[in-house]
Amino acid sequence: MIKKILIVDDSPIARKMLKSCLPKDREYEFHEAGNGLEGVNQYKELEPDITFMDLTMPVMTGYEAIEEIIKIDTKAMIIVVTADVQMSAIKTVLDSGAFMVLRKPIKKDQILGALDKAMDTKEKGAQV
Amino acid sequence: MSEQATDILSSDEVDTLQEIMNIAFGQSASDLSEVIDTHVVLSIPFIEFVKVTELHTYIQQHVKEYSKISIVEQKYWGKFKGDALLIFASGAGRELILLLKNDEQGSLEAGSAEILESETLLEVGNILIGACVGKLAELLNDIVTYTPPMVLVEEDARNAVPANKFDPDQTAIILKTDFNFEQGGATGFLFLVTKNESVVWLKKALQLFLEQYE
């Protein structure tokens, strides 16, 4: 089954970098948003399997977007991909319901590991 | 006054540099937050090209809301070279002393208030500039060395960066982010003024960086 992936980041290059790190031998349907608000709106419309979320963005930050998405779907699988790796930032987003935090610049093996873990957790959750 | 960034770098190169700056500023905020134990809030980095002869006016426009500012300056050079200017709003030094005192009871007690303020700004400046420029260089596969940081404390904002400070034949790449601290009212911004002789190298380095993600 094709998995829907939503990438929320204000930087087009960061979105491109992330997409390039995803395994090519699997089928994904990619969707992109340039700020937190667009991300929340696309989440409502698409119900993606996995959402990659930046934190420092215009219009609506990733912190706010995560809170909004979790209000819509408490089981949302949100992987934060951020340059802001302060402990306080990591704690805030994990407390808000993000699944995992990855530090920029991202690496292929990191993304693959996070994706597999998130998919696995989502599937186990669906079976319960 | 400013040139369009895309006149010198392609839009992809500007986007890439902006993302690299985002990562570099994130690293510097993380390093500093560990020392002062408070969250450092960063804005989205901003890139602009300015003729060096107009840099004095440009910086003045960005500090016009403050009558007094403090500046930490550090020069760096490798293939990527320039000046890092960390500009704090008035009172930032005293705010930072309070934040640092939480972690280092007693170690900042000695000395006069002015020396303490100057040393605190130097220390914070050194951490922010070193982490930011160091990460930027690392991501672009460069090695940079630094001069020791210098500090100007509570200077008149109109005269703190003299018009003749930089080589007039150069174009400066302004890489700027605003920051403030979640606890305490210290605010400021970090400029990296990079000479245009770094542009040829920078274009190539950005290309190589992007190739990792092709």
Q: In this complex, do A104 and B26 lie within 8 Å of one another by their Cβ atoms?
A: yes
* Interface residues of chain B, partner chain A, Cβ below 8 Å: 12, 15-16, 18-19, 22-27, 29-30, 33-34, 38-40, 42-44, 139, 182, 210, 213-214
ipTM higher than threshold 0.90: no
Report how far residue A39's alpha carbon sits from residue A54's, in angstroms, rounded to the nearest whole number.
10
Q: In this complex, do A11 and B15 lie within 8 Å of one another by their Cβ atoms?
A: yes
Q: In this complex, do A13 and B12 lie within 8 Å of one another by their Cβ atoms?
A: yes
Q: Break chain B into its structural domains and give their ranges.
A: 2-211
Write out the E strands in B31-149: 40-42, 46-51, 68-77, 82-89, 145-146
Cis geometry, peptide bond prior to residue A105 (ω within 30 degrees of 0): yes
Please provide residue B2's backbone torsions phi and psi, each rounded to the nearest 5 degrees: -85, 150
pTM equals 0.84
In a 13 Å sphere around the CA of A126, the CA atoms on its Cβ side amount to 9
**Architecture of the domain defined by B2-211:** 3-Layer(aba) Sandwich (3.40)
Report how far residue B30's alpha carbon sits from residue B120's, in angstroms, rounded to the nearest whole number.
18
pLDDT tens, residue by residue, B26-53: 988 888 888 888 888 888 888 888 887 8
Q: What is the pLDDT of residue B54?
A: 82
Report how far residue B115's alpha carbon sits from residue B137's, in angstroms, rounded to the nearest whole number.
32
Please provide residue A32's backbone torsions phi and psi, each rounded to the nearest 5 degrees: -130, 145
Q: In this complex, do B22 and A56 lie within 8 Å of one another by their Cβ atoms?
A: yes
| Partner residue opposite B139 with nearest CB, options A58, A85, A105 | A105
Structural domains in chain A, sorted by start: 3-122 (3.40.50.2300)
H helix count then E strand count, chain B: 6, 9
User: Are B45 and B178 a contacting pair, CB within 8 Å?
Assistant: no
Q: What percent of chain B has pLDDT over 90?
A: 20
| Partner residue opposite B213 with nearest CB, options A10, A20, A83 | A20
pLDDT tens, residue by residue, A42-100: 999 999 999 999 999 999 999 999 999 999 999 999 999 999 889 999 999 999 999 99
